[in-house]
Every structure is written in structure tokens, then in C-alpha cells.
Chain A
Amino acid sequence: MQDFSNLLDRLIYTRSRNDKLGLISAYLKEAPDPDRGWVLAALTGELDFPTVKASAVRNMAMERVDETLFRLSRDFVGDTAETVALIWPEQTDKSAVGIPTVGEIVDELASVSRSDAPILLANFMDRMGSNERYALLKLATGGMRVGVSARLAKTAFAKAYNMPVEDIEEVWHALQPPYSELFAWGEGKADRPDLTGIPFFRPFMLAHPLEDRMIDLTDYAAEWKWDGIRIQIVGTGQETRLFSRGGDDITRSFPDVAEAFTAVGVLDGELLVRGEYQGGEAASFNALQQRLGRKKVSAKMQTEYPAFVRLYDILFDGETDLREQSWIDRRRTLETFVPKLNAGRFDISTILEARDFEHLGEIRDGARDAAIEGVMLKRKDSPYISGRKAGLWYKWKRDPLVADCVMMYAQRGSGKRSSFYSDYTFGCWTEDGELYPVGKAYSGFTDEELKMLDRFVRQNTLNRFGPVREVEKTMVLEVAFDSVHESKRHKSGLAMRFPRISRIRTDKPAEEADRVETLKKMIS
């Protein structure tokens, strides 16, 4: 456990990517099994203890620490796990049982009941110093926040054993922590893990934003960019699984889709919900959200929000890997594959015919469907490659909508931003001259602008509600957003999608900010 907590601490303070890779790969080479496998799982976000929740950590702390002192500390530190690790009353006699290993901790966390979880954690905490307590809580609740992405951790593994990271990515999703076969393969003690018959995720191919038009349209095919959930369908004949962009298995949220797919192959598409009120076309992302994240989906919900997949690409036809083929060849295969599927659940993405960029721009801006975000441009000779590669795929989004809003409340950020008021709730005017909140944003500004906004909040506070401050209604923020929807959650009856601060309008008086009515007209 000490080795892991040292690794975490060093990662926190290390800025260079190469140094981080060096630290992780040194740990992976030196640490014993199964500890290193569990740590690799933690760093890649694959570790999950369903009975150990953030609330368990909080409740455990409440047993030992006064609630007010805890709350004040949490507000200052900006991170619950770190607060608990620091505030935990140190036991004078820790040596009695010794510090547990990562493997022991994982075994016990995996089998503990929800009600016993706080007791188990407290027992571990009593045997540790503050650095190990921090590592324990990060391990138990997930979200390391040490500036290491899953990709970086896998790259570190590849570096430790001199393997191409693509080889790791290819088998990664078929393997389970603590990855003993993977380490054995890396160390040359075993062959590549055998994956036949396992429905596993393959990394998605992604697109770059089209920033200038320096591409020749004749080399590219255009299709709609749908605003749903990008998914991969993996069917083995016996079993079908659905994976989200990050490789999460979301089959349980969409059993209707999974059951309707009985073919063998791997497909790439967009999961959408059919909205009756939109004439049977794809409904908005909001409707999809109703289903996503639910572990069990009721029959009623399946009927009310019927899901289907608009297919973009095919990676495997049966057992045959098509990823090295050109997009145009894969598209031909896809066109013969789709008609064999359940037509109510699967259709094919339409190819847009455009004479030139201007024409394509007209098509893009003329799209009526709210579920269209823009257009995709795919190079006709491009193979299917994991990740983003320059020149192959582009996304060309519709211009965002903007509105001038007035800052109403501010809240401190977390992590690196824990000392800044960086999350802003803003509103627009009603007919009666009242401000109603219309959204919340915490991005879009530079570090310098953040300092300025933070200063504004501190110097213009009207009221404090715990970590939230109500401010003087004088700061106008130009907010950009992808779309706006009706919502019962907000007093204004509106909710923005992807709001971000696009400009700070210190030049504009608050009275001249936009009205709620104006936003209502933008509802798609």
C-alpha cells in the first residue's frame, strides 16, 4: 500500500507526461501481483466497488469528527477524500496489525456489504498514515484525479514491457482486473490472451473539428452528425453487447436494442430515441438521457422512449476484421449488412450529396431535426483507426447559439480550482423584470478571466449559502450553448445543452441582457 500511495503522491506533483509514464511503468514492473493489476485498474478507471459510495466515506468521517468542523474543512480543501484523509484522528498504535496490501484491500472492499463498508474503511484508516488513507479512499471511491488518463496508464504499461500501446488497447476490453494474463504476456511468460467468443469493445475512431476548409471535398463522404450516444454493437451470435464511447458496457440500459441484434459482427453507430412528437424522427438528447444511466429500464420507458441505432460503420463482418479496409469498402459491406437486421431498430446513416462546401454548409444549416449537430466528413480511403488521426475524419458542427446572461450565483470549483469561484449560475430577465436562472457553466474562460471573475464574486457577494455565493446582479456573461430545451427543473422552464462562457461582457449593462422569452424562441 505504501508503494501505491507514494506513486499517487508523486503523480500528483509531477507535471511532465514522460515523468508520469516513467513513474507508472517503474511501479508496474516492480510491484507484486495482484497489487499492480489492481492499481492499473484504478488508474484506468476500471475499478468499481458498488457497495462503497462517497456517502460511506462521509458517514465514516462523521463517526469520528464533528460535522461542522468537517464541513468547514471540506469547503477549504475542495475534495472529500483528501479532507477525510487529513482530518482522520491518528491512532498512536498502528503497528499492531500493519498496513494492508492493495490486494487485501481490494478483496475486502469487493465483498463488503453496503452497511459494513464504513466500518471496514474505518478499520483500514486506523492502520494507516494520512498519505495511505488518501490512497485508500481514492482507490475505494474511484476518480484518482492525478492527471493520468486511461490511455496514459496503458501507454505506461506498454512502455514497461516494450510493446506498442495499440496491442494493449486491442485486448484491453476483453480482460478483467487484476490483468494477470496481461502482465504474463508483457513479461513474455505467456502468449497473447485468447479472446475468441468474448464480445469485447474495440477503440472508436474519432474526428477532429473542421477548423478551416483546406480539404478537398471530392476525397470525402459527408453524413449527418447525430446528437445521440455513439455506440458500438458487438454481437457473437450467442450474445450482444453495447458499448459507449469510453468502452462502458451500456447493454442493460438498452436491452431492447441488444435483443434485436442477433447477427455476428462489430458495428459503429449512434443510439437515438424515436420521438413521436417529432414525426417519428430522432428525438433530442434529453429523451435519451431518460434512459441512459439506468441499470434497469422499465417496459413503460422502453415504449415511451423507443431506442434505435443509426449505423455509421462496420468493423467486423462475422469474424472478419474490416478495419484495414477503406471507408468506401466498409460502407459497401455495411449497405449489404443492414437490410438483414431488424428494420425497426437499425437503419443506415444517409450519405449527403453536396456539390461544394457552400452547398454542404447550406445543407448543414438547413437541417430541421434537433438531433442533428452538424455534418461529418470521412475520407473515403480511410481505414478504421483507434482515436483521432489528422486528415481522416472531421466533424463540422453547426454554430452555437449565444445569449447574454447575468451572473447570479457562484460556487467554488473542485480540485485545482478549489480556491476559485469558478462555477456560475446565470439568468435572463422575465417580462416583469425579474432574473430567472437559465443555466450553469464552468468553462470557456481563460485562467486570467477566471481570476477576474473570482475577484468579482468575492467583492460583490450579497449572500452566502455554504459554498455558494449570491452576487450583485451586474456581471453580463455571453453564454454559448448547443441548444435549449424545456425543463421543469428550472424556474425559467428552460435548460441549456453544453453551456459555456464565450465572452465576458463587462461593457454591457445588466439591464440589456437577454430575456427568457428570447431563449424560449430558440427551443429546438
Chain B
Amino acid sequence: MGMAKSSHWIEPHPHGIYIKPADAWIDPSRAVSRALVTHGHADHARGGHGKVWATPETLAIMNLRYGTNAGEPVSYGEGIELGGVKISYHSAGHVLGSAQILMEYQGERVVATGDYKRRADPTCASFEVIPCDIFITEATFGLPVFKHPSTDVEIQKLLCAKEAHPERCILVGAYALGKAQRVIGELRVAGYHDPIYLHGALEKMCKLYGELGVDLGDIQPVIETEKEVMRGQIILAPPSALNDRWSRRLPDPVTAMASGWMRVRQRARQRNVELPIIMSDHADWDELTQTIKDVSPTETWVTHGREDALVHWCALNQIKAKALELVGREDEDD
């Protein structure tokens, strides 16, 4: 590995990371001619770019959300070259198709993680440690109060609530891309094979996951189901629908929410959540710090989230680090 030159060829800007020799942007927050996209969440993948390089799964997700993009698929481990920069995509373990982007130029290696997590997820490939000189990491849960509990415990909480309320239903708020499928996948891993009912806003993405080879078992649309049938059942909806009129069609729902933010009681209360399920697709504090140790870069750049705390931790551990001020990253999206 070469010496980090902090680097003349890669520039952080408020609306994205610019790779000069390639004339391309990573996850730009506005339309550009050449974009390298890490994953399909709206704060990373936007419509309207001239050309997009992303994994086939991410391109499929973007097509579903924004219609056709001029997309160039790059599978995990595959490489391309743009303006002399060698670029390859490696799994990030965040959602289906999520990738870290490795760039090599003049002997220097830079990895941009996008969003990532370290623990197992039945709906996507696991995070891969890529040694590099400059490591550009997210910090959504970059505070030491965030230690996501074991997934099994949280899934058991959900199943116990279901058992305890045969006359009601458990309505779980989960983001449409990634979290919803993960909750279903984890329930299946735990041996739960009953039908799971979906809000309309989740149907298309779950269907796409199925087409891309992620089996979610028996899933049914709420809209085609009688109220009585859903008593004692698990229902998934986007978080915005939890306290919406839509939920009136359900049999006396117990309001649950699957998110890393549920770790903080008052955040859960703000959402009127009765059953917080602490489950995140982002690295928690221990995963963030362990990953920096594992990757062992010369320099760490922190993109979005609670960058102050992670940069401070790096300083305490004699790791060179700085915070990038990117705009347009959704704080609450998990």
C-alpha cells in the first residue's frame, strides 16, 4: 500500500465525493453525468444521472424507484477502469446489492463504504474487510450508546408479543428497502412460516427481492385480507403508516417499529411505539470502531451521522481522521 497523500485525486464536497481522474461522483445528492452508487436508499441513489455504475441488484432497485437509468452493472469483486482509476465493488452487508467502492490510483487505495453493517443478514451478502489507505466510513450510529442487541432477542420479542395478543395484531414499522425484507427474513430464520401481511408500499420491493433470489416465504397484501384473518398476525408497513388512518383497517394493532433508533427510549416514545424492536442495517458503535481497526487505514474519513464522536474516538486511538460535511443525508433513515 502506498502512502496516503490525503489525496489530491479524491475530493469531498457537500453533495458527494468527487473522483477527479474518473470525473465521477460517489452517491451524489444531485444529478451528475457519471455516478458510482453504493446502494439503493434514496439518500445515496438519486434519479437523473447521466450514467450510473452500481451492482446489478442496486440497478434493479433504482429502476424500480426511478424508472430506467443508463446503468452499467458491476458485480461484487468485479473491476472497471475510469480515467486510470481502478474501481471495484465489494459487499457492504447493508441491504441487498449494497456495496463498498474500492478505488486504486497511483498506488493508493481508497474505500468508500456507503452504509454497512457487520452482523449476519439473511437477505444480503456479508460485509467484506478491504484493506486500504483511506477509509471513508459512515457513522449513522456513531455514538457509544448505540450497541444493537442480538437479532434473535429482538425477533423473540416480536414473536412473544404476537403470542401474548391473539386478539390483536402486531404492526411493525419498517423501511421499504432493506428493513422490511430483513424483518421477514429473520422471522423465517427463527422458524416462523405463517403468512406475513404487507402494506401496499412494501409489496413491490418485496417482490423484487424475490425475483433477485431472496425467498421471503408466504407474504400477502393487507388490502386483499379480511380484518378477522389478521388477528394475532404480523403486519409490516412503512413507519409513516403506523399512526396513519390506514392502520384503522387492522384489528387493534400493537405498534412496533424495527429500527436502530429504538435503542433510545425517548425516540421510541416520540414515535408512539409500544413495542420497540432494536434492529438496524447500520453498524453500531462497536462495529464501527472494530471495522476501523480491522481495515487499519492510514486515514479515516467520516461521512454522515454522528461524525464528531467517531472522529474523537479515532483521535483517542491515534488514528488519523476527519469529518466530511455531506449534505442531504437522512438522519432518521435506518
Asked if A and B are interacting partners, one says yes
Q: Which residues of A contact B (CB under 8 A)?
A: 9, 12-15, 65-66, 68-69, 72-73, 76-79, 82-83, 86-87, 90, 130, 134, 415-416, 418-419
Please give the distance in Å from A128's CB to the nearest CB on chain B.
Answer: 14
Contact of B266 among A9, A15, A78, A130 (CB under 8 A): A78
Q: Which residues of B contact A (CB under 8 A)?
A: 143-147, 263-270, 272-276, 306, 308-309, 312-313, 316
Q: Report the separation of the CA atoms of residues A134 and B270 in the bound assembly, to the nearest whole angstrom.
A: 19
Q: Do A77 and B264 touch across chains, with their CB atoms under 8 A apart?
A: yes
Q: Report the separation of the CA atoms of residues A240 and B268 in the bound assembly, to the nearest whole angstrom.
A: 47
Contact of A68 among B147, B263, B272, B312 (CB under 8 A): B312
Residue of B nearest to A70 (CB): B144
Residues of chain A within 8 A (CB-CB) of B272 are 15
Residue of A nearest to B254 (CB): A13
Residues of chain A within 8 A (CB-CB) of B145 are 73, 76-77, 83, 86-87
Please give the distance in Å from A420's CB to the nearest CB on chain B.
Answer: 9
Q: Report the separation of the CA atoms of residues A206 and B42 in the bound assembly, to the nearest whole angstrom.
A: 55
Q: Report the separation of the CA atoms of residues A13 and B157 in the bound assembly, to the nearest whole angstrom.
A: 14
Please give the distance in Å from B289's CB to the nearest CB on chain A.
Answer: 11
Q: Do A419 and B144 touch across chains, with their CB atoms under 8 A apart?
A: no
Q: Do A73 and B309 touch across chains, with their CB atoms under 8 A apart?
A: yes
Residues of chain B within 8 A (CB-CB) of A86 are 145-147, 263-264
Please give the distance in Å from A283's CB to the nearest CB on chain B.
Answer: 41
Pull 22 A–B residue pairs with CB atoms less than 8 Å apart, ordered by A: A13-B268, A13-B269, A14-B274, A15-B272, A15-B274, A65-B144, A66-B313, A72-B143, A72-B306, A72-B308, A72-B309, A72-B312, A76-B145, A77-B145, A79-B266, A82-B264, A86-B145, A86-B146, A86-B147, A86-B263, A87-B145, A419-B267
Residue of A nearest to B264 (CB): A77
Q: Do A66 and B316 touch across chains, with their CB atoms under 8 A apart?
A: yes
Residues of chain A within 8 A (CB-CB) of B274 are 13-15
Residues of chain A within 8 A (CB-CB) of B306 are 72, 76
Q: Report the separation of the CA atoms of residues A165 and B293 in the bound assembly, to the nearest whole angstrom.
A: 59
The 3 A-B pairs with the shortest beta carbon distances in the complex, nearest first, are: A86-B145, A72-B309, A73-B145
Give the interface centre of B263, B265, B274 by most chain A CB atoms within 10 Å: B265
Please give the distance in Å from A158's CB to the nearest CB on chain B.
Answer: 25
Besides A12-B269, A77-B266, A87-B145, 8 other CB < 8 A contacts?
A12-B265, A69-B312, A72-B143, A72-B312, A73-B145, A86-B263, A87-B144, A130-B147
> Known contacts A65-B144, A73-B144, A419-B270; is A82 also within 8 Å of B309 by CB?
no
Q: Report the separation of the CA atoms of residues A86 and B262 in the bound assembly, to the nearest whole angstrom.
A: 12
Residues of chain A within 8 A (CB-CB) of B308 are 72
Q: Report the separation of the CA atoms of residues A431 and B312 in the bound assembly, to the nearest whole angstrom.
A: 45
Residue of B nearest to A86 (CB): B145
Please give the distance in Å from B240's CB to the nearest CB on chain A.
Answer: 16
Residue of B nearest to A79 (CB): B266
Give the interface centre of B264, B267, B274, B275 by most chain A CB atoms within 10 Å: B264
Residues of chain B within 8 A (CB-CB) of A15 are 272, 274
Q: Do A66 and B266 touch across chains, with their CB atoms under 8 A apart?
A: no
Residues of chain B within 8 A (CB-CB) of A90 are 147
Q: Report the separation of the CA atoms of residues A290 and B103 in the bound assembly, to the nearest whole angstrom.
A: 68
Contact of B313 among A69, A83, A87 (CB under 8 A): A69
Residue of A nearest to B275 (CB): A13
Contact of A69 among B263, B264, B269, B309 (CB under 8 A): B309
Q: Report the separation of the CA atoms of residues A73 and B309 in the bound assembly, to the nearest whole angstrom.
A: 8
Please give the distance in Å from A305's CB to the nearest CB on chain B.
Answer: 40
Please give the distance in Å from A209's CB to the nearest CB on chain B.
Answer: 29
Residues of chain A within 8 A (CB-CB) of B143 are 69, 72-73, 76
Q: Do B312 and A66 touch across chains, with their CB atoms under 8 A apart?
A: yes
Q: Do A416 and B144 touch across chains, with their CB atoms under 8 A apart?
A: no
Q: Report the separation of the CA atoms of residues A419 and B265 in the bound assembly, to the nearest whole angstrom.
A: 12
Contact of B269 among A68, A72, A130, A416 (CB under 8 A): A416
Residues of chain B within 8 A (CB-CB) of A72 are 143, 306, 308-309, 312
Please give the distance in Å from B167's CB to the nearest CB on chain A.
Answer: 14
Residue of A nearest to B142 (CB): A72
Residue of B nearest to A19 (CB): B274
Residue of B nearest to A134 (CB): B265
Give the interface centre of A79, A86, A419 by most chain B CB atoms within 10 Å: A86
> Known contacts A66-B316, A68-B312, A73-B143; is A416 also within 8 Å of B263 by CB?
no
Please give the distance in Å from B263's CB to the nearest CB on chain A.
Answer: 7
Q: Report the separation of the CA atoms of residues A76 and B143 in the bound assembly, to the nearest whole angstrom.
A: 9
Q: Report the separation of the CA atoms of residues A13 and B276 in the bound assembly, to the nearest whole angstrom.
A: 8
Q: Report the separation of the CA atoms of residues A73 and B147 in the bound assembly, to the nearest whole angstrom.
A: 12
Residue of B nearest to A419 (CB): B270
Please give the distance in Å from B328's CB to the nearest CB on chain A.
Answer: 15
Q: Do A415 and B266 touch across chains, with their CB atoms under 8 A apart?
A: yes
Please give the distance in Å from A16's CB to the nearest CB on chain B.
Answer: 10
Give the interface centre of A69, A83, A418, A419 by most chain B CB atoms within 10 Å: A69
Contact of A82 among B265, B270, B276 (CB under 8 A): B265
